[in-house]
A and B are shown apart, each in its own frame.
Chain A
Amino acid sequence: MLDTATILAGLGDAFQPVTLLYVLAGVIMGQFVGAVPGIGPVMATAIAIPFTFGMDPLAGIGFLVGINKGGLVGGAIPAVLINTPGTPDAAATALDGYPMAQQGKPLKATKMALYSSVTGDTFSDIVLITVSAPLAILALRMGPVEVLGLMLLAFAVIASLMGASIARGLAAAALGLLAAMVGTDPEHATPRLIFGNFEVYDGLPLAAVAIGMLAISELLARLARTRSAQAATIDIPRDQLPEDRRVSFAEYWACRFTVLRGAVIGTLIGALPGIGSTAAAFMSYASAKQVSPDRASFGRGNIHGIAAAESANSAVMGANMIPMLTLGIPGSVSAALIVSAFMIHGVQPGPFLFEQQGRLIYGLFGAMILANIMNLLVGQVGMRLWVRVITAPESFVLTSALLLCFVGVSLAAGGLFGIGVMLAFAVLGFVMTAFGFSVVVFIIAFFLGPRFEISLSQTLALLNGDPLCLLDYPFGLAMILAAPVLAVWLARRRA
């Protein structure tokens, strides 16, 4: 255990003006790139890393943390305002956020997203700061079999809740897994389904697929429906009541259990490497819907839906740092990027991190909490600005968003090839939506596909050809068995 002096010195470092300024700059940048469809916080972090070379370590890492946290809040903005989540994390937020915005209450919807996002994030940061060690040990116990079981469980929950029917949900999941198989197989590294395209050796570019399916297909469909060049994207009534523009404390307090549940789900899933925030957001959304007395109102602008999705996807961020700081194992791509920033600054993540770099780590904790507060402040201003943007004519807003998607994907996913992939998946997304297949289930399966396949192959290697060996993994076995049961139960409840 560290002495109090080190902890205080570290926290004090976070309040140095330079650090404060960089964290603030990171949050502003993060919220902006998160809100602009097509770039996203992961890519922004990757671009920002070289700029931190010359900075003081804490300022540099604080800057990157700010970008990440700002990006999580920013991602909700296009999801709510134009139903085009820039990153899949925010897809669950769009389910209720967009209907609420369409009802003329975009500011209320984005503010609820902001508050629950910051709450979930702060919750998981506090868990990280106080009880990360036991959680890390729990995460280590989760071997390939348990991870496989958890993913099957996530597939079961999501596939049976989204889309027109459970059969179509499962079909969409299967299609997503098929798309995830493009590239080289993890077992023997032989290329498959690439049809001579060397660009897809590492798989279809994630950004191109996600933006094509989630944003482009929606943008094109909306543009096709646009009747007048002058109509506002979202009509906000002039005589709007103040309570439709803000979230009162009573409304926030009424969502406390939803937010808390989301934060717990997000923190647990975030502590395990490789599952990720998109699945966490949907699991939280699904459970909020299940326990709600008014299930029918979900998907029609229920404020609980926004709270559930945003608290969970933001809680993943802090918890992702648990395996990274305690074991040196990054839990996600953003955490991996922060590890590489640590290493450039001569800090080696691993079991000695707290002993050798205690002051820096507590500085980082201070910066994380500060970033949450700044997220709240910057968000208050930013949301108003974005909502103002959205009152511009639809023909302008949607075409600008379309252009940004093209630019973002071209940067992130290898130029024209990435754009081709994006357009192909936009068409697929359009067709799937038309026939009642959930695009979101497809995307989640596509995202989790590589990890799913690796866990499956590792599980098979561990079992060594003997199914009875599964009995050595009671926890994993229980989850594998629970998945079909849960799917059937959820489908029946829905019917």
Chain B
Amino acid sequence: MRIKSWIAGLATGLALSVATTAQAEWAPKGPLTLEIGFGAGGSTDTIGRIVAKVMKEQTGWNVIAENKPGGGGIAMFTGIANRPADGQTIGLGVNMPILVNLVTRPGEMAFNLDSFDYLGTAGRAQLAMIARADAPFDDVAGLVEYAKANNAPIAFDAKPQELAMRKVMQAAGVEFQFLSTKGGAENVQLILGGQAIAGFEAGEHLPFLEAGQLKMIASMNNERHNYAPDTPTLVEQGYPIYVDPVFFFATAKGTPEDARAALTKALADALASEEVATVVLNSLKSPILNMGPDGTEAMLRDGLENVGQLFK
């Protein structure tokens, strides 16, 4: 019985491997490197490592996840854009820092949106404007009213957040002070400590909302958040600005058709797995959303226009 099932298993395995070889003709020569545009321990890192792990299990390729931090992904994508398009290396980054740099300093960038072949996305971050639960306002109009009579320090950890608030400031004719921080956790710290009156956070604020320590003032995305359908977006509150941070995968422009197809499929399969879905849900608070190669490119090109407006 044992030997029989062993032989059966072997036969199935052989059949499967033959089938896989027949299906995916292209395979990386040597290890496939997945470069992560941020340091170890953040949400991008988490996504990159789990995707690399599942992709390795599913394809049998030797997939290596490597951190290439610098400039919010600029350093990593500069490398990708300038390496041979052989499909051996793919990059994982976040669209917002790339777009902001392309808009503000196009001349200094060693790449543009045409430098890449896009493979897909992992999902979007839901960015919220938050304040302490006992703050004397519940929406952006209230915050503006508050800022007319008081100092109103706003904690932000990424340029697009500040620029959005500067737009609000101009439109409403009030003044905010801007506290630049290293991340969402520090924003929450400054808000809870009373040093900032409002700030931004992309997921980690949820337990604080439940605990009644923080409240949500607005969704900074173009859509309301899945966990807070009653909180309107900044656009709905009368300021036509939004941010839309998306995690995306890309490789060098001009990668051969078959390599691109194989990579796109391998990535899509990994993203469709339950293991990746669970981990991404934990770290992003939103479901996996793979826009596919064309969708990713369209998302970036539309985003470039949106960011261009923020900086006008």
Min distance, Cβ B287 to any Cβ of chain A, angstroms:
15
Stretch at the interface among B3-11, B36-44, B86-94, B123-131: B36-44
Contacts of B213 in A (CB 8 A): 351
Known: A328-B185, A329-B188. A187 touches B180 (CB 8 A): yes
Q: Which of A316-339 contact B (CB under 8 A)?
A: 323, 327-330, 333, 336-337, 339
- A50, B194: Cα distance in complex, Å: 37
Residues of A within 8 A of B45 (CB): 340
B75 interface residue per 8 A CB criterion: yes
Residues of B within 8 A of A142 (CB): 193
Contact A464–B177 (Cβ < 8 Å): yes
Instruction: Tell me, rounded to whole Å, the shortest Cβ–Cβ distance linking A337 to chain B.
Output: 4
CA distance A189 to B73 in the complex (A): 13
Contact B185 A343 (CB under 8 A): no
* Beta-carbon contact of A184 and B71 below 8 Å: yes
Chain B hits for A327, CB < 8 A: 188-189, 192
In angstroms, Cα B213 to Cα A438, docked, is: 46
Judged by a CB distance under 8 angstroms, whether A8 is at the interface is no
Q: Is the interface of B mostly helix, strand, loop or mixed?
A: helix
Whether A273 is near chain B, meaning CB under 8 Å from some CB there, is: yes
Answer whether residue B279 sits at the interface, using C-beta atoms and an 8 A cutoff: yes
> Which residues of the partner chain B approach A353 to less than 8 Å between Cβ atoms?
207
Q: Is B16 an interface residue (CB 8 A)?
A: no
Question: Which residues on B sit within 8 Å (CB–CB) of A457?
Answer: 180
Residues on B with beta carbons closer than 8 Å to the beta carbon of A184 = 71
* Stretch from B46-54, B220-228, B246-254 forming part of the interface with A: B46-54
**Which of these, A43, A202, A330, A458, contacts B71 with CB under 8 Å?**
A202
Q: Which of B74, B153, B180, B279 sits near A201, CB closer than 8 Å? A: B74
Contact B75 A199 (CB under 8 A): yes
Q: When the two chains form the complex, which single residue of B41, B78, B189, B279 contacts A336, counting CB atoms closer than 8 Å?
A: B41
B residues in contact with A133, CB < 8 Å: none
Contact status B179-A462, CB under 8 Å = yes
CB pair B211–A344 under 8 Å, yes or no, is: no
* Pairwise interchain contact B179-A144, C-beta atoms closer than 8 A: yes
Which residues from 398 to 444 on chain A have a C-beta closer than 8 Å to any C-beta of chain B?
414
Q: Tell me, in angstroms, the Cα distance from A450 to B179 when the chains sit together.
A: 14
A-B contacts at CB below 8 angstroms, number: 137
CB distance from A409 to the nearest CB of B (A): 14
User: Is B14 an interface residue when CB atoms closer than 8 A count as contact?
Assistant: no
Known: A143-B193, A201-B75. A461 touches B70 (CB 8 A): no
Chain A interface bracket (under 10, 10 to 19, 20 to 34, 35 or more): 35 or more
Q: Does B169 reach chain A (CB closer than 8 Å)? A: no
Interface residue A475 (Cβ < 8 Å from any Cβ of B):
no
Which chain A residues lie closer than 8 Å to B70 at the CB level?
198-202
Tell whether A461 pairs with B178 under 8 Å between CB atoms, given A184-B71, A346-B282.
yes
- Bound form: Cα–Cα A281–B217 in Å: 42
Is the C-beta of A165 less than 8 angstroms from some C-beta in chain B? no
A391 interface residue, CB < 8 Å from B?
no
> In the bound complex, what is the Cα–Cα distance between A161 and B207 (angstroms)?
45
Write out the residue numbers on chain A whose beta carbons fall within 8 Å of the beta carbon of B210.
Answer: 352
Question: Which of under 10, 10 to 19, 20 to 34, or 35 or more describes the interface residues of B?
Answer: 35 or more
Q: Which residues of chain B come closer than 8 Å to A50, judged between CB atoms? A: 49-50, 53
With A329-B188, A351-B213 known to touch, is A344 a contact of B179 (CB < 8 Å)?
A: no
A247 in contact (CB, < 8 A): no
The reply to whether the CB of B195 lies closer than 8 angstroms to some CB of chain A is yes
Q: How far is the CB of B214 from chain A (nearest CB, A)?
A: 9
B206 touches A340 (CB 8 A): no
CA distance in complex: A202, B97 (Å): 13
CB closest residue in chain A, given B209: A350
Contacts of A462 in B (CB 8 A): 151, 153, 177, 179, 195
* A278-335 CB contacts (< 8 Å) to partner B: 323, 327-330, 333
Distance between A420 CB and nearest chain B CB, rounded to angstroms: 15
Query: Given A343-B283, A346-B282, do A143 and B190 touch, yes or no (CB 8 Å)?
Result: yes
Interchain CB contact under 8 A, B179 and A189:
no
Q: Is the CB of B208 within 8 A of A350?
A: yes
In contact, B193 and A141 (Cβ under 8 angstroms): yes
Q: Which residues of B contact A188 (CB under 8 A)?
A: 159
B141 to chain A, nearest CB (A): 23
**In the bound complex, do residue B71 and residue A273 qualify as a contact, i.e. CB atoms below 8 Å apart?**
no
Query: Chain A residues with Cβ under 8 A from B206's Cβ?
Result: 348, 350
Bound CA–CA A333/B70 (angstroms): 17
Q: In the complex, are the beta carbons of A328 and B204 less than 8 A apart?
A: yes
B186, CB-defined interface residue at 8 Å:
yes
- Which chain B residue shows the least CB distance to A340? B41
9 closest cross-chain pairs (CB), A and B = A350-B207, A201-B71, A46-B40, A201-B70, A143-B195, A351-B211, A140-B193, A337-B41, A461-B177
Can you list 16 A-B pairs, Cβ within 8 angstroms, ordered by A?
A: A53-B53, A198-B78, A199-B70, A200-B70, A201-B74, A201-B75, A202-B39, A329-B186, A329-B188, A337-B40, A340-B46, A348-B204, A350-B207, A454-B182, A458-B179, A462-B153
